[in-house]
Amino acid sequence: MATKHELLITRNAESAFQDIIRFTQEVSLVAAERLRVKILHKLHGLQHHPEQGSRKVEGMAEQGLRFVTVSNCKIFFTVKNQQVFVHDLLVDRGK
């Protein structure tokens, strides 16, 4: 059984999460709720398996910065001493 990590979310990440959901609500309330649930589910998963499905951020691997993708959002985090620090969420708008 995997060890459960403590999940710590920065104010910046919390604000970004709220902004992403608010922006999505302008397009579709249903889509916003689905995205909200997916992001919360992914955050819950990080508590149990923070490296599973995550990738190291190029140029930041030494600092331990990793990310996971949820729909078109990236969640950036580090893991230290049984704690997962969520630093930011960004929308990948593509090119």
Model pLDDT for residues 27-72, shown as the tens digit of each residue: 999 999 999 999 999 999 999 988 887 888 887 767 888 999 999 9
* CB burial of residue 11 (10 Å; 0-12, 13-18, 19+): exposed
Residue 84: the pLDDT is 95
Give the DSSP per-residue string, 64-84: T-EEEEETTEEEEEEEETTEE
Kindly state the percentage of the chain with pLDDT values over 70: 95
Domain annotation covers residue 20? yes
Given a contact cutoff of 8 angstroms between Cβ atoms, the answer to whether 44 and 5 are in contact is no
Domain annotation covers residue 53? yes
Domain annotation covers residue 1? no
Nearest alpha carbon to residue 80 among 51, 38, 40? 51
Whether pTM exceeds 0.85: yes
Domain annotation covers residue 38? yes
Domain span at 26? 6-91
CATH of the domain at 52: 3.30.2310.20
Nearest alpha carbon to residue 13 among 42, 49, 48, 52? 42
Per the listing, tokens 């910065």 go with 65
Domain annotation covers residue 16? yes
Domain annotation covers residue 32? yes
Q: Looking at the 3D structure of the chain, how many domains does it have?
A: 1
Reported in sequence order, the residue ranges of 1-95 that DSSP labels E, i.e. its strands, are: 6-9, 55-56, 66-70, 73-80, 83-91
